[in-house]
Amino acid sequence: DPVSGDVILRTVTPSERIEWETTFGVDTKLTKRLSGGAKFGVSLIDEKDAALSSSFIYSLNATYQPLKNTSFTFGAERNFSVAEGGGTEGTYNLNFGARHAVNDLTSLGFNVAYSLSPQTGPDESELLISPSISYKPAKDWDTTLSYEFSSEDEDGETTVENAVILKVSYGKTLLK
């Protein structure tokens, strides 16, 4: 779809915080093998015992498909809000992904994402690396096994996490 939009409503610990986010995007095929897009949106957070806050989101992405069964994705996002004393605060995100379809049922993937939040004190950053393998056992079913390595630097301290994730999903197209 060349134009897309999302509306997301989340509640965190009932009645503690409500998040509302809406984004709109445009994607277009630039050449036979290259497509790109842009997205912008706004996020509102209503936190108990705090003022309503908002942030703005904009991003650019590109997908390059040099071969029929191999693709690379690149993305950059900026999420920011106006700080109390003026100026802006927020997060910069960069990501890279690669996907190769081994056959009609199996594909291999690799993703790297980096996030930087400049602060008045030490900057906060996070690195996520995730290889994966996906298998389609039946028409409407998908399975993905992935490993995630995460390194987060916050307040001068580094936290490292490792996870193995098995995702099983079922999706049925209702309207064509």
What are 84-125's pLDDT values in tens digits? 666 677 889 999 999 999 999 999 999 999 998 876 666 788
Identify whether the C-beta of residue 81 lies closer than 8 Å to the C-beta of residue 91.
no
Q: How many helices (H) and strands (E) does the chain have?
A: 0, 10
Closest CA to 29 of 2, 3, 61, 69: 2
Strand partners, 52: none
Q: What is the pLDDT of residues 37-70, one digit of tens each?
A: 888 888 777 766 666 677 888 899 999 999 999 9
The Cα 92–Cα 19 span in angstroms is 20
User: CA 150, CA 74: separation in Å to the nearest integer?
Assistant: 19
Q: Against a cut of 0.75, is the pTM above it? A: no
d(CA 65, CA 33): 5
